[in-house]
Amino acid sequence: MACPSVGSFLSIHNMCGGMIDKFGSDDLRAKWLPKMCSMETVVSYCLTEPGSGSDAAALRTRAQRTNEGYSLTGNKAFISGGGYSDAYIVMCRTGDDSPKGISTVIVEDGTKGLSFGVRERKMGWLNQPTAQVQFDDCLTSTDNLVGEEGKGFTYAMAGLDGGRLNISAGALGGAQAALDKTLIYMGERKAFGKSIDQFQALQFRLADMETELQAARIFLRQAAWKLDNQAADATKYCAMAKRFVTDTAFKVANDCLQLHGGYGYLADYGIEKIVRDLRVHQILEGTNEIMRLIVGRALLAERG
Ligand SMILES: Cc1cc2nc3c(=O)[nH]c(=O)nc-3n(C[C@H](O)[C@H](O)[C@H](O)COP(=O)(O)OP(=O)(O)OC[C@H]3O[C@@H](n4cnc5c(N)ncnc54)[C@H](O)[C@@H]3O)c2cc1C
């Protein structure tokens, strides 16, 4: 995917579809999945809040059960598709302050009490809207509960395993597009009487970028295989792949910009956009520091 921001928004939408498919009732699956698959309906994932990102289980948006359904009050931050999507999958508190007090509900666009902040101004991912999503006594039917009450945090984390692979795949595609452009450019650009691809120092840079991207691709596929096959260590592999692939992809894209010289910095060549777009892949769906935390904890648990 040459445009990482479109691919990555799709990734978040797909993550929501996966959660409904795996954990939702038959009615929810029948209602949402066909049109989500055809992209007639777009759904956003609402976990992050202004006061809690990495520490997602500290979320405070509350859903009070009433005779009419769940009444939601609270704010979600940085929501991809906020103000644009047809529905929002919301992680909210129905019980105590622990992760077991969190549930997942769907709120449809147009619901009374649902509103949005202004569209955020960002470094990259400019063709997808990001906004706060606000709930003010926002009533959604109990039929919109995904799975069971109190299991929402588990569902949200399960969704993220696959989401992290998608985010990685988008980063890999962006970096590959940058490398492809760079190979062509280096054959055309001349310095000191020859094309710059004839300098051995730069050929070595190309060799390193190709090697690192191939290693990232193979690792990503292994993590995807683990997830597909429900391997016990799938979560650890998804975290390792997300950290490694998104760091590698950003570094490759940034090196490609360098190999374009001053032209790499100009919008016309399309490289600076890829660099700007890929930067956020190291931050969202769990920062790369949080990926290290997951891997470190898994290692200690395996050691016993
Ligand atoms: C463009 C964009 C789109 C997004 N889309 C969505 C979306 O659709 N849905 C959604 O729910 N969220 C979304 N997010 C939010 C994103 O997932 C969070 O920004 C991210 O999880 C980090 O949370 P935070 O910004 O609160 O940073 P913080 O949690 O405040 O972290 C700040 C820094 O501290 C580090 N840190 C925190 N805790 C630890 C620790 N224990 N050990 C080591 N380091 C730590 C972090 O790695 C980071 O470097 C989006 C963000 C962006 C920028």
Let me know whether 130 and 64 are in one domain: yes
Distance CA 179, CA 271 (A): 9
Measure CA of the first residue to CA of the last residue in the chain; give whole Å: 41
Q: Residues 148, 285, 289, 302: which is the catalytic one? A: 285
Do 278 and 181 fall into the same domain? yes
Shared domain for 130 and 51, answered yes or no, is yes
Span 18-77, pLDDT tens digits: 999 999 999 999 999 999 999 999 999 999 999 999 999 999 999 999 999 999 999 999
pLDDT in tens, 171-228: 999 999 999 999 999 999 999 999 999 999 999 999 999 999 999 999 999 999 999 9
Q: Identify the domain boundary among 148, 183, 205.
A: 148
DSSP 88: E
Q: Is the CB of 280 under 6 A from ligand 1?
A: yes
- Say yes or no: 55 and 108 in one domain: yes
State whether the beta carbon of 89 lies less than 6 angstroms from ligand 1.
no
Record the tokens describing residue 120, joined without a space: 């955020």
Q: Residue 2's pLDDT band (boundaries 50, 70, 90)? A: very low
23 and 121 belong to one structural domain: yes
Same domain, 179 and 293: yes
User: If you write DSSP's letter for every residue of 241-292 in order, what string do you get?
Assistant: HHHHHHHHHHHHHHHHHHHTGGGGGSGGGSHHHHHHHHHGGGTSSS-HHHHH
Phi/psi region, residue 150 (left: phi>0; alpha: psi -120 to 50; beta: rest), is left
Q: 240 and 188, same structural domain?
A: yes
Whether 285 is a known active-site residue: answer: yes
**Whole domain around residue 129: which residue ranges?**
4-148
Q: Tens digits of per-residue pLDDT, 240-252?
A: 999 999 999 999 9
pLDDT of residue 8: 65
Q: Whose CA is nearest to atom 27 of ligand 1?
A: 53
Question: How far is ligand 1, taken at its centre, from the CA of residue 121, in Å?
Answer: 17
What pLDDT score was predicted for residue 12? 83
pLDDT tens digits, one per residue of 168-183: 999 999 999 999 999 9
The answer to whether 4 touches 173, Cβ cutoff 8 Å, is yes
152 lines ligand 1 (CB under 6 A): no
Which of 148, 167, 201 is the C-terminal boundary of a domain? Answer: 148
The answer to whether the predicted template modeling score (pTM) of the entire model surpasses 0.85 is yes
Q: Whose CA is nearest to atom 38 of ligand 1?
A: 54
Calculate the dihedral angle through the C-alpha atoms of 135, 140, 142, 146, rounding to the nearest 10 degrees.
-70
